[in-house]
Amino acid sequence: MPMQQPIPQAPVQQPMPQAGANGVIYDLQGVRGRSMKVYEDKCVITTKVTFGSIMTGNASDGEKTIYYSDVLGVQFKLAKMQIGYLQLETASSSMNNKGSNFFNENSFTYDPGQVKETTNELMQQVADYIRSRVEFYKKQKNGGTTVVSLSPAEELKKFKELLDMGVITQEEFDAKKKALLGL
């Protein structure tokens, strides 16, 4: 009896997560007083004062909204021997880093040993989702046309080249020169 070859399976495409109540796609509980809500266009990181944050000198209450269109990069570290983190790098985040990604106000810290629902697998999905949204907004931003404006001197030089090549007449060149120089 001939041996049957297994039929190759196409890789399973993960469905995009769908927004739930109030547009929240992921609602995550972390450690060191951190929680994070992930939306289609932004993340909101909330920080509460905890005993651990007081001990590490990082005690603060507050909420930070980070729009994907402002994100320069995404750093993600799985929780292993230390807690894991997901950091959204922005132009302003480099100014408020206290020497560690764990304490940056743009970082969400987590530990599956302390918060069972926030697993490494879930955080990998969240990081991938955020990266895809950042990429979407970057492409959208770069999708517009850029108009390069030349200085009057550069334009005049171009018209002089056209005159020298015989493409335009002396009269056309003089008229353009007057217009460019405001004479």
Residue range 20-47, pLDDT digits in tens: 768 899 999 998 889 999 999 999 999 8
One-letter amino acid identity for 3?
M
Q: Distance between CA atoms of 110 and 90, rounded to whole angstroms?
A: 20
One-letter amino acid identity for 141?
K
pLDDT tens, position by position, 50-71: 665 565 565 567 899 999 999 9
pLDDT score of 132 more than 70: yes
- Give the Cα-Cα-Cα angle 30, 53, 27 (nearest 5 degrees): 20
Q: What does the mean pLDDT of the chain come to?
A: 80
Q: Distance between CA atoms of 78 and 99, rounded to whole angstroms?
A: 19
pLDDT score of 144 more than 60: no
pLDDT score of 84 more than 90: yes
pLDDT score of 148 more than 80: no
pLDDT score of 98 more than 60: no
Quick one: average pLDDT of 141-169?
Answer: 76
CB 27 within 8 A of CB 39: no
- What is the pLDDT at residue 11? 41
Quick one: average pLDDT of 134-155?
Answer: 75
Range in 12-16, 29-33, 106-110, 176-180 with the lowest mean pLDDT: 12-16
Domain layout of the chain by residue ranges: 21-142, 152-181
21-142 topology per CATH: PH-domain like (2.30.29)
pLDDT score of 134 more than 90: yes
String of DSSP letters for the chain: -PPPPPPPPPPPPPPPP---GGG-SEEEE-STTEEEEE-SSEEEEEE---HHHHHTT----EEEEEEGGGEEEEEEE--SSS-EEEEEEETTGGGS--SSTTT-TTEEEE-TTT-TTS-HHHHHHHHHHHHHHHHHHHHHHHTSPPPPPPPHHHHHHHHHHHHHHTSS-HHHHHHHHHHHHT-
Q: Compare 154 and 144 and report the one with higher pLDDT.
A: 154
